[in-house]
Structure 1
C-alpha cells in the first residue's frame, strides 16, 4: 500500500499521465447532448492512523451516502459532486458540490486536476472525476437534503481483497456487472462509483488482486420490503 508521504505525488502523476480507463461505455452517437457533471475524489491523511509519522500514515477517501428521498440513485454511496453551473469548469463544480453536500471547508482542498470524462449512458450524463488532496481536513456535516451521511474511508480497507467483489443486476432489460466494495461501517459501494474507484485504484498502482468471481448481493432500494 502506498504510504501517505507518496500518495499526493501518485495522484499528481496520474493526472499528468492522463492514463486511465473504466469499463463504462461511450456516448451513443447521434444522441441528445449529455448533461455535464463532476465528482470529487478527495484523498487525505487518515486521522485515525496508528502512525505518528505522516510519511508512514494511511490514506483515506471521502465518500457520501445519497439521501433516501432522491429520485435518482437514492441511498447509494457516491463521490460528492453534481452538475456544472453556467460558467463553471469541472474542478470548480466538484469542490463547490462537495462543500454544499458535506460541509467541508474548500480552502483546505488542493485540486490536482480532472481525469478523462466518463460517459454514463444509462442517465445521459458525462461525468468528470476530479482528483484532489485534502491538505487541511475540516469538520464534515451532511446537508441532510442530498446527502444523508459522509464517510472518510481508509484506502487500505478499499484495496483489501476481503472487501472486494462483484454485483450482478439488471436494468431496463439489460444485465450488468459492477465492481463492489464491502467496507465495514459503510453501505455497499457499487455501480458508477465502484467503476470509477476500481479504475483509479488500478491506475494509481494501489490495487491488490481480488476475486472478481465473488458475487455480492445487490441491496434493495430504500422503502422496499423483501
Structure 2
C-alpha cells in the first residue's frame, strides 16, 4: 500500500504539500515518547467534495466508551498485527480498516495521498499516525456499531474556516485548545488541534477571535 498524489483535485494541493513539510512539533506539543511507549494507532483524515464544496468526514464516539467518550473524531483506532509494520504501511491499512469498521466506508474509493508526523494523546496513551485521504469515489456512510459510534457526518471546510464557528476550549486541567462548533457538535481536543493546524498550513485559515471561549459542557 502506497501514497499517491496523482489525480488529486487542485484544491487539495496545499494539503498534500503541507504533509511533506510539516513537523510534529508544528502540529502538537504532545509528541510520541522517546522510549517507544504508547499504543500505535492511526486516524483517517478524509477529504471529500459535497454540495457545499470540500468537506471532511468525522464521527461522534459513543458516550459509553472508556476513552474519549462522546467526542467527535476522525475515524481510526489501534493497529492490529495484520496491518503490518507500524513504521511503513501499517498505519495506512489501519486507517482504512478502522474507517470501514466504524462508518461502513468503502476503502476502494479512497486515495491515500499523505501522512502527517506521529502524535501522542497522553490521556489514552495512543501514538497516532494521521493519514490523509481523498474520497475519490464517495459511498454511503453511517454508524456501524452504536456501541462504538453515535453518528457519522461530514463538515464543509467552509464551515471549519468560518470565524463564527471557531472558539477556544479550556480543559479542567487548564489546557487551552482550538474548537469548532459545527454540525451540532463541539469538535475539540486532538481532532480540533489537527484540523486547526491543517487549515493553517494549507493557507485556508481565516482570522478568528481566540478570546472567545466555549465550555466543554457547552450543551448545558
Identify the TM-score tier after normalising by the shorter chain: 0.7 to 0.9
Per-residue deviation, 1:119: 1.4
Matches within 5 A, 1:27-38: 27-28=32-33, 33-38=37-42
| 1:156 matches 2:164 | no
Q: Is the CA contact 1:65–1:150 (under 8 Å) kept in the aligned structure 2?
A: yes
Equivalent in the alignment of 2:178: 179
SS of residue matched to 1:218 = coil
Per the TM alignment, residue 217 of structure 1 is displaced from its structure 2 partner at its CA by 1.6
Q: Count residues in correspondence.
A: 205
The answer for unaligned runs of 5 or more in structure 2 is 1-7, 84-89
Distance 1:177 1:79 in 2: 20
Q: 1:165 Cα shift?
A: 0.5
Matched residue, 1:116: 117
- The answer to whether the 8 A contact 1:27-1:121 is kept is no
SS in 2 for 1:188: strand
Q: SS where residue 12 of structure 1 aligns?
A: helix
Q: What is the rounded CA distance, in whole Å, between the counterparts of 1:75 and 1:200 in structure 2?
A: 23
**Contact 1:151–1:186 (CA under 8 A) maintained in structure 2:** no
| Superposed CA RMSD | 2.0
Cα distance per residue 1:34-64 (max 9 Å; x no partner): 1111000000111x23xxxxxxxx2000000
TM-superposed deviation, 1:128: 0.7
